[in-house]
Chains A and B, each alone.
Chain A
């Protein structure tokens, strides 16, 4: 048997930076998230190029149209966010994680910070590449929007933030629900179905649905009637994610692991 070499116990105590490093290594060391994120980017670019090539009207909000791949793509980062939590419950890894770092709220904060950063970077890559692909494929007869035009940079940048915020909503839902299928169902129900149902209720209620916020508030350069202003929309998405993460954090601390 190999003799155990004594290791030095570090000074201080474990903190956010150590837990975040653990979570970053967890994300980095799996292939599936990177495939999913690649698909997210490729889908956004593909849809943008197709929409750009089909654009006919001068009057349309071209920027908003070519960012049309963002709303369906949100589902991918949302589900990945759910899996950040629920995959650990599926395997039992969560209990090892909590024995390594017993402060559960710190674990959730670290997971959200790491996944939020990854999904923000990937989201911005997706939205900016989509914008350039879409504008490049526009017919010559259509005036191409540029990032220097009013509201265009904001629309493209907030589209990227949308991926991140729906991803964080997923992390929070994963912490609350803990089971992958149920959490994904609630995510899809909350983001897509409830949003559509709200539109049926009234147009102004519908403007609070997450997909509606991304499609009609964040990514528009021309303000739509019955849509939240872009920054108010961003605030609502932040609120949804913060609520889910806050409730998730409280439940993690209270419940048995």
Chain B
């Protein structure tokens, strides 16, 4: 279970996360949805102890990230798709990270097989396509067989087959009773994968609800419900983003289609 309480994070004069409180329950896939710049990635960095909040706290099964005894065994995460040295092989990358948490090499081969990279494991990861890089990131998250998964845009760059694969993977992980927290800018993807949704805009919580309830609120369309929810914050985002620019922007585009 992931708990965020009153999270605030400022960068200079910008408030990226503004009093965010939510809980991510085990046993289901929870989608983390919000317009561009709504603070999703920042929130994930705060959960993983990479950034320090200006106020509030995040806990994973009752403990702060930095107090975890064997972090990779407890939380698996993926933030960026190319977070590896391009000159190192996929296997060496995983073997190194595994060593930090006393994970054996047999587990490395297991996750390489699981994400479909076993055949290219000895290749320099710098030669990987975006889809393969994404699979390596997911392999990294699965390394310690953790009960909690935090994944930032995992479907990014995957081909249709890969997208179907990750949907199945996330659902089966949740089905095993794990906590699965996944951000995405693709509303349709969340509709197909997630059961629960945490919707943010402008760093604030807009909704913490089930996909079914939110769709019902948008007369059956999750997309309509999402745009209705985020209309204000999206316009605010666009207004500040384009301040001083003569180019008008379509708030819908900016909110839905760009990677945060």
State yes or no: do A and B come from one complex: yes
B50-95 CB contacts (< 8 Å) to partner A: 50-52, 65-66, 68-75, 77, 79-80, 82-89, 92-93, 95
Bound complex: CA of A103 vs CA of B66, how far in Å? 7
> For residue B49, which residue of chain A has the nearest CB?
A102
**Residue among A25, A30, A32, A100 with max Cβ neighbours from chain B (10 Å):** A100
Residue in B52, B86, B113 whose beta carbon sits within 8 Å of that of A2 in the complex? B113
Residue B7 at the chain A interface, CB threshold 8 Å = no
Chain A residues positioned under 8 Å from B51 (CB to CB): 256-257
* A9 close to B70 (CB less than 8 A): yes
Closest CB in chain A relative to B119 CB, distance in Å: 15
* A87 close to B70 (CB less than 8 A): no
Chain B residues positioned under 8 Å from A9 (CB to CB): 70, 73-74
B73-126 CB contacts (< 8 Å) to partner A: 73-75, 77, 79-80, 82-89, 92-93, 95-97, 99-103, 107, 110, 113-114
Bound complex: CA of A96 vs CA of B140, how far in Å? 9
The total of Cβ contacts below 8 Å across the A-B interface reads 123
Closest CB in chain A relative to B209 CB, distance in Å: 29
* A96 close to B83 (CB less than 8 A): yes
* A30 close to B87 (CB less than 8 A): yes
Bound complex: CA of A103 vs CA of B165, how far in Å? 34
* B83 close to A257 (CB less than 8 A): no
Residue in B65, B77, B107 whose beta carbon sits within 8 Å of that of A7 in the complex? B107
- Given contacts A102-B68, A257-B50, whether A14 and B102 have CB atoms under 8 Å apart is yes
Report, as a range, how many residues of chain B touch the other chain: 35 or more
* A95 close to B85 (CB less than 8 A): no
- What are 15 contact pairs spanning A and B, CB under 8 A? A4-B114, A7-B144, A14-B69, A18-B101, A19-B100, A21-B100, A92-B82, A93-B84, A95-B48, A96-B97, A96-B140, A98-B50, A99-B77, A256-B45, A257-B45
Chain A residues positioned under 8 Å from B168 (CB to CB): 1
Closest CB in chain B relative to A203 CB, distance in Å: 44
Bound complex: CA of A25 vs CA of B95, how far in Å? 8
Interface size on A, residues (CB 8 A): 38
- Given contacts A26-B88, A30-B87, A257-B51, whether A1 and B172 have CB atoms under 8 Å apart is yes
- Given contacts A29-B92, A29-B96, whether A14 and B101 have CB atoms under 8 Å apart is yes
Interface residues of B (CB under 8 A from A): 45, 48-52, 65-66, 68-75, 77, 79-80, 82-89, 92-93, 95-97, 99-103, 107, 110, 113-114, 140, 142, 144-145, 165, 168-169, 172-173, 176
Q: Map CB proximity to B onto A1-44 as digits: 1 under 8 Å, 0 otherwise.
A: 11011110110111000110111011001111000000000000
Bound complex: CA of A257 vs CA of B165, how far in Å? 31
A68-84 CB contacts (< 8 Å) to partner B: none
* A91 close to B86 (CB less than 8 A): yes
* A7 close to B85 (CB less than 8 A): no
- Given contacts A14-B102, A91-B83, A95-B83, whether A100 and B71 have CB atoms under 8 Å apart is yes
* B97 close to A91 (CB less than 8 A): no
Bound complex: CA of A13 vs CA of B100, how far in Å? 10
Q: Map CB proximity to B onto A86-124 as digits: 1 under 8 Å, 0 otherwise.
A: 011001110111111111000000000000000000000
Residue in A2, A4, A93 whose beta carbon sits within 8 Å of that of B83 in the complex? A93
Residue in B80, B97, B114 whose beta carbon sits within 8 Å of that of A22 in the complex? B97
Chain A residues positioned under 8 Å from B48 (CB to CB): 95, 99
Chain A residues positioned under 8 Å from B176 (CB to CB): 4
- Given contacts A7-B144, A100-B101, whether A31 and B87 have CB atoms under 8 Å apart is yes
* A22 close to B79 (CB less than 8 A): no
Bound complex: CA of A188 vs CA of B88, how far in Å? 27
Bound complex: CA of A6 vs CA of B110, how far in Å? 12
Bound complex: CA of A9 vs CA of B110, how far in Å? 17
- Given contacts A1-B168, A93-B83, whether A7 and B99 have CB atoms under 8 Å apart is no
- Given contacts A7-B144, A91-B84, A93-B85, whether A102 and B71 have CB atoms under 8 Å apart is yes
Chain A residues positioned under 8 Å from B79 (CB to CB): 92, 95-96
